[in-house]
């Protein structure tokens, strides 16, 4: 199979990730932070190692600023619902995923006002629009770093600088960027960063996390046993305990740490360069096929390694079904859980788009095979 659906989950993980999960499951199957015996301590070491690696990867000041969640969605919900009080104002963009827009719609149903900044496919939002939208009751600015539909990049550093200047908490959805593009929570003025473990960081599904800058007040979404301060009737204040109730996914976190270790050894810049080159090849090839329309930043623009396209005369879901059944190529069709973005693209009523997302494990030959398949499908559609 030619797997070009890495925006959903990285299909192939490094061998070290598989081995780390298996080792943790077999050899370190204690409950971390719960007991003092060797198995519990070994599990605890896995968790703290993964935490230190995530903190270092995103340039957090302290490991305790990283709380682990089961996925990006939980991290985003924790941040959004933990920071905004119903009725307060929120600023976001038209590029957001349902994991941002649905919690915001919920807050809207409780009386909050949500400003959705328009974005261009080429350059994302205008950071100055953030400044203009800030009101005295603005409680949060939340932006996706890279659109999961078009690969459009929001200038988070410019937006972050404005938020910091105005004293508004700034939350970044790094679902598509973590591991694929440099993120420095300090230089990018990020207060809250939600990230997946199973996409660019190459860990297993069931992992993710939330960076919470020290000093940012967030109410926890869940409360329960933390293995610490057990006598307290209330949820402890200490981070990361406050946001990590219940048993963590220890084998998953072992795999996540192995994934980050792989990225560091391979070199994040090399990975980014490789993905850029694959993405350019993809864009250039698609733009030469008659009947194909691309939804992605144009040549020379910053872009994530994901783009969308349609073919005149044939349904996106049919294209992906043919790619799967006749060419053994995995892509995704539809709205990709991002109705805001499809409304912006004008594709919401017509079955969305076909999304293609290689990663650094993909080869130029795979891109060429994909392009050849699309050429055949487009040709058949023209007849």
Site for a copy of itself in 335-354 (CB under 8 A): 335-339, 342, 348, 352
81 vs 216, beta carbon nearer a copy of itself = 81
Distance from C-alpha of 7 to C-alpha of 274, rounded to nearest angstrom: 16
3-state SS, residue 314: strand
Q: CB of residue 327 vs a copy of itself: minimum separation in angstroms? A: 11
**Among candidate residues 343, 334, 281, the one with its CA nearest the CA of residue 121:** 343
Which stretch, 102-110, 119-127, 136-144, 274-282, contacts a copy of itself (CB under 8 A)?
102-110
Which stretch, 55-63, 275-283, 306-314, 334-342, contacts a copy of itself (CB under 8 A)?
334-342
Total binding residues toward a copy of itself, as defined by CB under 8 A: 92
Does 83 bind a copy of itself (CB under 8 A)? Our answer is: no
Task: Give strand pairing partners of 69.
Answer: 208
Distance from C-alpha of 192 to C-alpha of 305, rounded to nearest angstrom: 23
**Among candidate residues 319, 375, 357, the one with its CA nearest the CA of residue 4:** 357
70 vs 120, beta carbon nearer a copy of itself = 70
181 vs 355, beta carbon nearer a copy of itself = 355
Which stretch, 55-63, 87-95, 198-206, 294-302, contacts a copy of itself (CB under 8 A)?
198-206
161 vs 338, beta carbon nearer a copy of itself = 338
* Tally of CB atoms within 10 A around 192: 26
- The residue written with tokens 């703290």 in the block is 48
Does 124 bind a copy of itself (CB under 8 A)? Our answer is: no
Distance from C-alpha of 364 to C-alpha of 347, rounded to nearest angstrom: 29
Angstrom CA distances, 56 to 68, 119, 184, 249, stand at 15, 31, 9, 20
Distance from C-alpha of 158 to C-alpha of 143, rounded to nearest angstrom: 12
Left, alpha or beta for 246 (phi > 0: left; psi -120 to 50: alpha)?
left
Q: CB of residue 91 vs a copy of itself: minimum separation in angstroms? A: 17
Task: Give strand pairing partners of 212.
Answer: 192
Q: CB of residue 259 vs a copy of itself: minimum separation in angstroms? A: 12
**Known catalytic residue: 21?**
no
Q: CB of residue 331 vs a copy of itself: minimum separation in angstroms? A: 7
134 vs 194, beta carbon nearer a copy of itself = 194
Site for a copy of itself in 311-330 (CB under 8 A): 317, 320-321, 323-324, 328-330
x/- map, 2-41, a copy of itself, by CB under 8 A: -x-x--xxxxxx---xx--xx--xx--xxx--xxxxxxx-
134 vs 263, beta carbon nearer a copy of itself = 263
Whether the bond between 240 and the residue before it is cis, its omega within 30 degrees of 0, is yes
Which stretch, 55-63, 161-169, 241-249, 287-295, contacts a copy of itself (CB under 8 A)?
241-249
127 vs 220, beta carbon nearer a copy of itself = 220
* Tally of CB atoms within 10 A around 303: 25
| Structural tokens at position 241 | 């305990």
Site for a copy of itself in 164-193 (CB under 8 A): none
Does 123 bind a copy of itself (CB under 8 A)? Our answer is: no
Task: Give strand pairing partners of 141.
Answer: 91, 170
Site for a copy of itself in 253-282 (CB under 8 A): 255
Distance from C-alpha of 286 to C-alpha of 300, rounded to nearest angstrom: 16
**Among candidate residues 122, 78, 123, 128, the one with its CA nearest the CA of residue 103:** 78
Q: CB of residue 299 vs a copy of itself: minimum separation in angstroms? A: 27
- The residue written with tokens 């995995």 in the block is 330
| Structural tokens at position 246 | 């219940």
Q: Which of 67, 101, 112, 154 binds a copy of itself (CB under 8 A)?
A: 101
> DSSP letter at 21?
H
Which stretch, 53-61, 199-207, 271-279, 363-371, contacts a copy of itself (CB under 8 A)?
199-207
Terminal-to-terminal C-alpha distance of the chain: 28
127 vs 252, beta carbon nearer a copy of itself = 252
x/- map, 37-76, a copy of itself, by CB under 8 A: xxxx----------------------------xxxxxx-x
- Catalytic residues, which ones? 337
């Amino acid at each position: 199979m030619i797997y070009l659906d890495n925006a959903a989950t990285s299909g192939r993980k490094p061998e070290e990730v598989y081995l780390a999960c298996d080792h943790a499951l077999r050899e370190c199957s204690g409950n971390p932070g719960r007991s003092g015996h060797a198995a519990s301590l070994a599990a605890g070491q896995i968790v703290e190692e993964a935490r230190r690696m995530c903190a270092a990867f995103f340039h957090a000041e302290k490991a305790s600023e990283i709380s682990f969640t089961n996925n990006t969605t939980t991290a985003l919900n924790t941040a959004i619902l933990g920071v905004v009080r119903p009725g307060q104002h929120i600023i976001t963009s038209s590029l957001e995923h349902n994991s941002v827009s649905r919690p915001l719609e919920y807050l809207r149903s409780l009386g909050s006002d949500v400003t959705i900044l328009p974005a261009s496919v080429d350059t994302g939002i205008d950071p100055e629009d953030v400044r203009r939208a800030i009101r005295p009751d603005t409680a949060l600015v939340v932006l996706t770093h890279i659109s999961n539909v078009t690969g459009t990049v929001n200038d988070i550093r410019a937006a972050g600088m404005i938020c910091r200047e105005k004293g508004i908490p700034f939350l970044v959805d790094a679902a598509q960027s973590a591991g694929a593009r440099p993120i420095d929570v300090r230089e990018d003025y990020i207060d809250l960063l939600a990230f997946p473990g199973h996409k660019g960081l190459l860990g297993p599904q069931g992992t993710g996390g939330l960076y919470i800058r020290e000093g940012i007040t967030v109410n926890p979404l869940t409360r329960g046993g933390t293995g610490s301060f057990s006598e307290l009737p209330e949820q402890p204040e200490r981070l990361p305990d406050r946001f990590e109730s219940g048993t963590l996914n220890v084998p998953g976190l072992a795999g996540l740490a192995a994934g980050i270790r792989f990225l560091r050894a391979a070199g994040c810049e090399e990975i980014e360069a490789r993905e850029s080159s694959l993405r350019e090849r993809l864009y250039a090839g698609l733009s030469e096929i008659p009947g194909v329309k691309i939804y992605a930043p144009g040549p020379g623009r910053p872009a994530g390694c994901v783009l969308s396209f349609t073919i005149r005369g044939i349904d996106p879901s049919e294209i992906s079904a043919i790619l799967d059944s006749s060419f053994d190529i995995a892509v995704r069709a539809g709205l990709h859980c991002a109705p805001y973005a499809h409304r912006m693209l004008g594709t919401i009523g017509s079955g969305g788009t076909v999304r293609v997302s290689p990663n650094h494990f993909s080869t130029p030959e795979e891109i060429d095979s994909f392009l050849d398949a699309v050429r055949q499908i487009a040709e058949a559609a023209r007849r």
